[in-house]
């Protein structure tokens, strides 16, 4: 039996490395909006975990960070969600909530079934589909315990989300910004909704806001936040899908995973409700740096468990391709609505 003091000493190196990566990522993200602190945290974590020998102290520390800081980070993520603003966004832009639901469903199903055709590992498939449909790397990290993912599964999903995020941002800012802003009175608002619906990282949406008229960047971020609230319900979907076809599943393992799902759901929505309808909402800006650092450390810990050298295989390429196809499908759906149903997305006023 390891005493608490001994366990603390064993875990300390891994915890300090994760926190250090989070601090570095947070600092670098302040240099440019394109540099998302969460994406940087998991990228640096993967690089460090892949390049240096893995000792037991690192494993214990990263496991501790994931078990404690991931739920805590999701609790603090809930403080970023303001239901009043999101409801206002849905009123201002007709059908935006419905479009977000359709967007999440189509993207998830597209990636999931394309990966089935490609015969991608089920855990990798579920994490990639979840990350592509909602909020990128954060969704991969939150979903990994729910499907009992191995390090290779997480690494492949992270690579797919990052590569498709970069490609989608390039296409959006180089090509689609000109398409949608050809007549700002008609398409400018739709470009904001388009960015919020199709870019998988919040940092990418913020950077894309530089291509918009003043006020439209807020609309884009609120649309992105509407997508993010589906992280909990979709987490239960991937939990269910991960259990299909399995036999002789340990009941204790299944119960612990279900408890984890309900815990993160309670923390996320509980925090969101408190910071929407109580005076605590006045402090959301003040605690944002702490939220970035805590959730960043949790994501860095996830990255530290990955080894990129093990996933340079055909499966990784096909998994990334399916994520890109999923993004292309939701882009096609959105542009189809703009062209063939021009009155479907209307903006009554700007934030």
pLDDT given at position 85: 63
- Helix, strand and coil in the chain, % to nearest 5: 80, 0, 20
Crossing angle, helix 251-277 and helix 231-243, to 10 degrees?
Answer: 170
More confident residue, 199 or 273: 199
**What is the per-residue pLDDT across 257-279, written as a single tens digit (0 to 9) for each?**
677 777 777 777 777 777 777 78
pLDDT given at position 184: 42
Total Cβ atoms within 10 A of residue 311:
21
Q: What is the mean pLDDT of residues 40-58?
A: 77
Q: What is the mean pLDDT of residues 37-61?
A: 77
The secondary element (H helix, E strand) that includes residue 336 is helix 314-340
pLDDT given at position 125: 93
Q: What is the mean pLDDT of residues 35-48?
A: 85
**Tokens 């603090």 correspond to what residue?**
76
Which span out of 31-45, 156-170, 301-315 was modeled with the highest average pLDDT? 156-170
160: pLDDT strictly greater than 50: yes
pLDDT given at position 131: 92
**What is the per-residue pLDDT across 83-101, written as a single tens digit (0 to 9) for each?**
666 665 555 555 777 788 8
185: pLDDT strictly greater than 50: no
pLDDT given at position 186: 41
22: pLDDT strictly greater than 60: yes
pLDDT given at position 323: 95
pLDDT given at position 1: 44
pLDDT given at position 183: 47
Percentage of the chain lying above the pLDDT 90 cut: 16
342: pLDDT strictly greater than 80: no
Residue 141: pLDDT band with limits 50, 70, 90: confident
**DSSP output for 234-266:** HHHHHHHHHHTT--S--HHHHHHHHHHHHHHHH
In this prediction the pTM is: 0.84
Which span out of 2-6, 50-54, 284-288 was modeled with the highest average pLDDT? 284-288
Q: What is the mean pLDDT of residues 211-237?
A: 79
For residues 145 and 258, what is the distance between their CA atoms, to the nearest angstrom?
10
| CA nearest neighbour of 333 among 322, 175, 238, 325 | 325
């Amino acid at each position: 039996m390891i005493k608490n003091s001994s366990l603390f000493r064993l875990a300390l190196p891994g915890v300090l490395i994760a926190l250090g990566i989070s601090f570095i990522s947070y600092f670098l993200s302040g240099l440019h909006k394109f540099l998302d602190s969460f994406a940087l945290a998991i990228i640096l974590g993967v690089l460090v975990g892949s390049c240096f020998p893995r000792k037991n102290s690192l494993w214990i520390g990263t496991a501790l960070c994931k078990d404690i800081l991931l739920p805590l980070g999701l609790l603090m993520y809930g403080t970023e969600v303001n239901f009043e603003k999101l409801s206002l966004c849905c009123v201002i832009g007709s059908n935006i909530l419905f479009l977000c639901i359709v967007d999440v469903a189509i993207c998830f199903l597209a990636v999931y079934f394309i990966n089935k055709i490609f015969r991608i590992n089920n855990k990798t498939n579920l994490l990639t589909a979840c990350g592509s449909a909602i909020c990128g790397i954060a969704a991969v990290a939150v979903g990994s315990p729910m499907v009992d993912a191995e390090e290779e599964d997480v690494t492949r999903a992270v690579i797919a989300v990052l590569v498709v995020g970069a490609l989608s941002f390039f296409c959006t800012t180089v090509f689609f910004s000109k398409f949608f802003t050809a007549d700002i009175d008609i398409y400018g608002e739709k470009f904001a909704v388009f960015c919020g619906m199709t870019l998988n990282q919040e940092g990418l949406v913020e950077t894309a806001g530089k291509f918009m008229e003043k006020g439209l960047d807020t609309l884009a971020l609120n649309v992105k936040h509407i997508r993010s609230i589906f992280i909990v319900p979709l987490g239960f979907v991937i939990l269910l899908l991960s259990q299909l076809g399995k036999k002789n599943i340990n009941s204790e393992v299944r119960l612990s995973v279900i408890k984890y799902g309900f815990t993160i759901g309670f923390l996320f929505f509980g925090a969101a409700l408190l910071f929407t309808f109580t005076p605590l909402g006045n402090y959301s800006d003040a605690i944002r740096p702490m939220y970035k650092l805590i959730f960043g450390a949790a994501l860095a810990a996830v990255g530290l468990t990955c080894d990129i050298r093990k996933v340079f295989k055909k499966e990784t390429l096909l998994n990334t391709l399916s994520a890109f196809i999923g993004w292309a499908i939701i882009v096609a759906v959105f542009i189809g609505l703009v062209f063939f149903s021009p009155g479907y997305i209307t903006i009554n006023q700007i934030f």
